[in-house]
Structure 1
């Protein structure tokens, strides 16, 4: 079994190898194909310089904070709406059957296609951007919550009915814990979806945030800045995934213990 330390060393080695390959291609091979290729694919040191200059300053941290604020607020609203509605639909089968066609219809719509409608309804401010994030990130949470709630052992439902536990208490004490592993899976998917849609929302009519920075870098043909923004997005995605994995390990510790006890 691979230890955590060895896994970290392998990950670091792969990152170093990728940087070395990138530097070799940009510093030695790309110039042979002309200056145009060298402009489009700057060397890692130029990208690092642009990254440090634009994102490790006060203005850069403010840019990152604007994007993270929109993402966190949209993700939080998605969790509240997705988990709440999912538990209700999972607790009432007839209600689920009534709403299932609408869920299947709206979740199949790509989030970016809602930009014109939301912009017309809510304007170009943060409200439309957060609404777009919610419209994309809520579905994996909602669907996984419904699936987890519907998969609850019937014996638990019958026991709750026998003890005359109210529906609200049953949702909180029975359905929510039982559906927690499925909910966390949906939240993990929603993190990736939410970050992508956050950047997409900022590319349209935004003058700030990482999306606005990308538009400005493209307009000024500043390729090192463009690659620096892409690097930042990769680091943000990786960091959010690591944070969520750590939180998931803590949240579901009781679930793993229960499974170990049953086995």
Structure 2
């Protein structure tokens, strides 16, 4: 019984220790930043106390709804378009290797072209505004989803597909019950990569061609030498990225709960 209790408590203790480290390290870093800059007179590295005051004034009240919310809205819209296109096209290419091999050079060429490199052309074709930003987010984010979907579909055991055909399972049921679930771990990896790319693209486009957004406010603060406001915008961007990652991990646990249970059962 004692050994059973020890085996039960050990994973809980490890998890508690991991959570403690995850909380302790940021606290130590912030405390170090606070005390090392508390007497700073540098124009470019103001005290953290001044930055936190600016963060409270800018992002807790005045600029959250006018800048942070529009940035997140454009990001989610562009990512949604990228995910839908990436999964649909990835399924088609994964199920037709001949077509995938024929289009491979074109896909690699487009994938190697950064979305932000198309910004001048996007200005000419779409103008300045949300349409241009959402389009560039979708273009830059679609490739990891598409290519990971192709890899996930191609990685399905051929025996599984042969059994499905032998039982005369329809195409739609095969897609929903076999292909998509089997490829979903790879697809979720691609979506996580697309999320980081989307954040980069939206901030860049807001700095170049926007009238609001987190990136726009960071650039405006830099141009007006409001250094504390600039740093508070950068911190806001980090907070948004961290919360988006937490939200994605929650979605990932829900979508792939069957995958983790299966691997736990095998172990």
Question: Structure 1 residue 86 and structure 2 residue 90: aligned?
Answer: yes
Write the distance in 1 (CA, Å) between the matches of 2:63 and 2:26. 28
Query: CA separation in 1, counterparts of 2:262 and 2:31?
Result: 46
Give the Cα separation in 2 of the matches to 1:165 and 1:243. Answer: 35
- Does residue 43 in structure 1 map to residue 54 in structure 2? no
* Alignment correspondent of 2:14: 3
Tell me the residue number matched to 2:204: 200
- Mapped partners of 1:15, 1:119: distance in 2: 40
Distance 1:256 1:215 in 2: 43
Matched, 1:106 2:117: no
Q: 1:164 aligns with which of 161, 164, 168?
A: 168
The 5 A counterparts of 1:7-22 are 7-22=18-33
How far the C-alpha of 1:80 sits from its partner, in A, is 0.4
Note the aligned Cα RMSD (angstroms): 1.6
Cα drift, residue 45 of structure 1: 0.9
Distance 2:251 2:64 in 1: 27
Q: Which residue of 1 is the match for residue 58 of structure 2?
A: 54
Structure 1 residue runs of 5 or longer lacking an equivalent are: 32-37
| Distance in 2 (alpha carbons) for counterparts of 1:207 and 1:70 | 13
Q: What is the 5 A alignment of 1:1-263? A: 3-28=14-39, 30-31=40-41, 38-263=42-267
- Alignment CA distance shift 1:16-1:262 (3 Å): closer
Confirm or deny: 8 A CA contact 2:86 2:145 kept in the other structure: yes
Give the TM-score of the pair, scaled to structure 2.
Answer: 0.91
- Contact kept? 2:38, 2:49, Cα under 8 Å: no
> How far does residue 3 in structure 1 lie from its aligned partner after superposition?
3.3
Q: Secondary structure of 1:40's match?
A: coil
- Give the equivalent residue in structure 1 for 2:8: none
How big is each residue's C-alpha offset from its partner over 1:215-253, in whole Å with a ceiling of 9 and x where there is no partner?
211111100000000000111111111111111112111
Q: Shift in Å at residue 12 of structure 1? A: 2.2
Structure 1 166/93 Cα, relative in aligned 2: closer, same or farther at 3 Å? farther
1:58 Cα deviation after fit: 4.6
Partner of 1:35: none
Tell me if structure 2 keeps the 8 A contact 1:91–1:171: no
Unaligned runs of 5+ in 2: 1-10
Mapped contact 2:66–2:212 kept (Cα < 8 A): no
